[in-house]
Structure 1
C-alpha cells in the first residue's frame, strides 16, 4: 500500500475516499428553497437546513407551549409540537409557515425524564435522545446490557410513566469509531479528519473526534509518517466528542470540501444545526458514502470510556474506521463529526455525531480557511451547485428546539472515565483505499 502525502500548502478535506456508490446519486442540486404560496396559514416548504432558525424563533415566542420540532422531509414542512390547544399558539405557528402538532409531553416533562435516566440508568451500553416525532425519549440498550442492568433500565423507563419513553435493544455494541474518512495517524491510532477550520489565532486547523484527540497529541497523514498537526484542545468524554488539531505548518491552506469519492467533492460553505427528519450524508474510508436521517438530538451515549452528552443520533450506518469523519448535507452544510455507535452497514444500527456548531463554538474556530481562501479544491461536478451561502454561521443555539430539551441528553458531568485515551483502540490495520487528501484505511477501537 502506498501513501500519498498532503502537499505542504494544501490540505483538502476529504472525509472518505473510496468510490461513492448508491448515496452518491442523491448528491444532486436541490432547489427546494423556502417559499410561501402567499397564504400565511398554509404550510410553507422548507429546506432542512432552514428549519432550525424558524424553530428557534418559535421556541422563544411560544414559551412553555413549545414541545420540540422536526422536519417532515416528505412534505418539506416544519412541524412544531405544542402542549395544549391555545388557538393563539396555533395561529402563530401557522403564520410562520409551520405545522402545529398537539402532543402530550412538554419540554419540562421530557427534561425531568432525562434527568431521571441520568440518575438511575447511566449504564455503559445505553443511550437516549428525544424523538420529537413521537414526543418521547428513545432509549437504546446495546448487546452488553443484560441481566440486572437490563432490569434496571426497563424499570426506570416504566417508572417514567406511560408515553414518556420507550426502550429497545440494539444488536451491536456502542463504541467509538476510531479511524475512517481521510485517515490521520497518531500514537498508533487511526482517525479521520473531519472539517478544516481556522483557529481563533488565525492558524489553519481541523476538527476531529475528541476521543482521537485524547488518544494522541500529534497526528500524521501517513502511518509512521512525520507529524503534520498537533492537538490544541480535546473534549471526551463529557460534554461532547470533539478536538481542534492545528497544522504545524502555518502556511497550510485548509480548504473546505468533502471528497465523496470517484473524483468528486462537495464544497462546504457553512456549519448548520441538525434537524430531526433531515437527510444527511456520511463519508468514511471503511464503507464509502452513506446517507440516512437524523433521528434525535441532544443524545446521551454511555460509552465504555465514559458518558458523552449533546450528540446527534442518526440511522446512518457506520463501521470500524469512521471516527471523526464528516456528516454533511446535500447543500454543503457541515453538520457533525462521527463519534460512535453500534451495528454496521449490513444490518444497520445507531450512529452518533458531535454537532459541528457546538464544537466550533467551544474551541473558538471558524469553518474554512479564513484568509487562505476556503474551498479552492472542491470539484463543482459533485452536484452541490446551489449550496447555501453564509459561511461560518456556527452559533449552535437552535439545535435544542428540535429535540425538545437542551438537557435531555443528561447532564454534562455524567461521564468522566479515566480511560478516555482509548489506548486499546489504537490498532489500525491499513486498508489501501486510494483517494485525495490523506490516505485512507481502517482499524478500530473494537470490532463490531
Structure 2
C-alpha cells in the first residue's frame, strides 16, 4: 500500500493520506437557570489509549513530566463534555469555556448571570461572571470580518473572541492601526482589546518540490485527513494549496489526484479526489514513523492540547489559544480558523491537527518557525466536512461511515452529518441535544455517546 512505504521517512505525510474587558453592560434578564446534572466522568474512549508517540511529543513540546500526558488528554476530554452540558443549560447566558493547568485540565465556564454560579460549580467547574455573552462578542467580531472585505488588514492581521478576557481582541502593529480598523467596522474602540505585534501570518506553502504532495508539479503541501464522498476516496487539505482542477502528485507518479473543491480566501479548505495509486486510511503520521488512527472529530476546548503533522517539520504539539479567529494574510482574509501555540513551517500547509485521536483541522498558516517557536492557525475539519459533504474516515466502525442522508423527519440523527453544540435531534423515539461539535459516526449514536449527547 502506497501509504505504508517507509522509505520516504517522517516527512512523507502524503503516505499517511489521513495517516497522516469590554465596556460593562448589565447582565441580560433571565429566568432562574435549570439545575445542572451531577458531574459525570465520561472521558472520550480514545483519550486513555493514546499512542506512545503522541504522548512523547506532548511531553516534549508542552514540558510535561513523564507519564503526565495521558492524564491530561483524559481530563481535557472529560472537561469538554461538562462544558457542553453547561452550554446547553445556560443558553444565551453562556460566555465561553476553557481549560487550564498542566494536567488537571481545570474547567472554567463563563456566564453573564451570577445566579448561574451554583449550577456551574455543581459540574465541578469554576464560574466566571462576565459582562457579555458569547453571542454578543461574536457579533462584534462579525463586524470586523465584514470590514476586512473593504479595508486593508496588513497592520491588523488577526482578530478573535477571547473568551478568557470576555472581549474581542485585535492583533495590530500599533494602536493607530487598531483605531482605524475599529472605525472602519463601526465598532466602539472601547470594545476592543489590542495585542501589539509586528508579526504577520503567512501561508505555509513551499514552492520547492519535495515529499508530501505536489500541486501541478510545483507547490508542496501536506495531506490532511482521509475522507470519502459518494464512494470516492480522497483527503482534506488547505484551500490555498490548489484551485479546483489542480493535479496533485506524490513521490510515486501513480499516486495522483485532482482538487475537486477549494475555498480560499474566506475559508482555507479543499478536498482532493484520489486515484488508484493512493490508499485512504484513518491514519495520521506521527513521530519516528508511528501512526495514529483517527477516531472522530470532537472539537477541543480552548486551552486543550493539540498536535500537528506536516511534511516539513513532522510532529509538534501545543495548545488551542482561540477558536473562531480571523486572519488577514497578504493573499486575503480567512475567517473561522483556530489559533494554536504549535509551530509550523512552509510545506506543512494542509497537514492534520489532532486532539488525542480526534481530528481538529488542517494547517492554514501562521508566524514563526519550529526553531524559535511560533503560532499556527488551522481550518476546523468539521466545517470542511459540512461544507463539502465529506465523511471523515475513522476507526469507530468496521466499515466506512455512510454519507449523510436527508431524513423524512428532518431532525433525525444521521451518521455522517456534522452537528454543532446545541443542535437537537430525534433518535429511537427520544430527543437529544448536542454537547460538542463533531461529525456523527455510525458507531456513535446518541444513546451510546453521553459525552456528545444528552437527553433533551
TM over 0.5: yes
Which of 414, 421, 440 is the matching residue for 1:398?
421
1:343 aligns with 2:374: no
1:196 aligns with 2:196: no
Q: Residues 211 and 242 of structure 1 are in contact (CA less than 8 Å); yes or no, is this contact kept in structure 2?
A: yes
1:296 aligns with 2:327: no
Which of 119, 133, 152 is the matching residue for 1:106?
133
Q: Residues 181 and 322 of structure 1 are in contact (CA less than 8 Å); yes or no, is this contact kept in structure 2?
A: no
Cα distance in 1 between the residues matched to 2:378 and 2:311: 17
In structure 2, what is the equivalent of residue 48 of structure 1?
76
CA positional deviation for 1:340: 0.8
Q: Residues 337 and 378 of structure 2 are in contact (CA less than 8 Å); yes or no, is this contact kept in structure 1?
A: yes
In structure 2, what is the equivalent of residue 229 of structure 1?
257
More off after superposition, 334-343 vs 365-374: 365-374
Q: Residues 256 and 278 of structure 2 are in contact (CA less than 8 Å); yes or no, is this contact kept in structure 1?
A: no
1:23 aligns with 2:54: no
Equivalences for 1:367-446 in 2 at 5 Å?
367-368=392-393, 395-398=418-421
Q: Residues 59 and 69 of structure 2 are in contact (CA less than 8 Å); yes or no, is this contact kept in structure 1?
A: no
In structure 1, what is the equivalent of residue 25 of structure 2?
none
1:138 aligns with 2:169: yes
In structure 2, what is the equivalent of residue 365 of structure 1?
390
More off after superposition, 51-60 vs 253-262: 51-60
Are residues 84 and 148 of structure 1, via their aligned partners in 2, closer, same or farther at CA, if it must alter by over 3 Å?
closer
Q: Residues 225 and 237 of structure 2 are in contact (CA less than 8 Å); yes or no, is this contact kept in structure 1?
A: yes
Cα distance in 2 between the residues matched to 1:215 and 1:242: 11
Equivalences for 1:75-224 in 2 at 5 Å?
75-86=104-115, 89-120=116-147, 123-125=152-154, 126-141=157-172, 149=177, 152-153=180-181, 160=188, 162=190, 164-179=191-206, 183-187=212-216, 188-197=218-227, 199-214=228-243, 217-222=246-251
CA positional deviation for 1:22: 7.2
More off after superposition, 207-216 vs 62-71: 207-216
Are residues 320 and 94 of structure 1, via their aligned partners in 2, closer, same or farther at CA, if it must alter by over 3 Å?
same
1:327 aligns with 2:327: no
CA positional deviation for 1:248: 1.6
CA positional deviation for 1:3: 8.0
SS in 1 for 2:114: coil
Cα distance in 2 between the residues matched to 1:354 and 1:182: 22
- 1:180-209 per-residue CA deviation (whole Å, 9 max, x = no partner) reads 996111122111101112x23122111111
Are residues 292 and 336 of structure 1, via their aligned partners in 2, closer, same or farther at CA, if it must alter by over 3 Å?
same
Cα distance in 2 between the residues matched to 1:147 and 1:369: 46
CA positional deviation for 1:68: 0.9
CA RMSD of aligned residues (A): 3.8
Q: How many correspondences in the alignment?
A: 355
Cα distance in 2 between the residues matched to 1:327 and 1:108: 27
In structure 2, what is the equivalent of residue 72 of structure 1?
100
- 1:205-258 per-residue CA deviation (whole Å, 9 max, x = no partner) reads 1111111132762101029x45611122212112x2111111122x85311122
SS in 2 for 1:349: strand
Cα distance in 2 between the residues matched to 1:373 and 1:393: 13
CA positional deviation for 1:279: 0.8
Greater percentage in helix: 2
CA positional deviation for 1:4: 5.2
Cα distance in 1 between the residues matched to 2:311 and 2:132: 41
In structure 2, what is the equivalent of residue 272 of structure 1?
298
CA positional deviation for 1:117: 2.2
SS in 2 for 1:320: coil
Q: Residues 55 and 70 of structure 2 are in contact (CA less than 8 Å); yes or no, is this contact kept in structure 1?
A: no
Cα distance in 1 between the residues matched to 2:136 and 2:213: 43
Structure 1 unaligned blocks of 5 or more: 35-45, 375-391, 401-405, 407-448
More off after superposition, 167-176 vs 292-301: 167-176
Q: Residues 200 and 367 of structure 2 are in contact (CA less than 8 Å); yes or no, is this contact kept in structure 1?
A: yes
SS in 2 for 1:253: coil
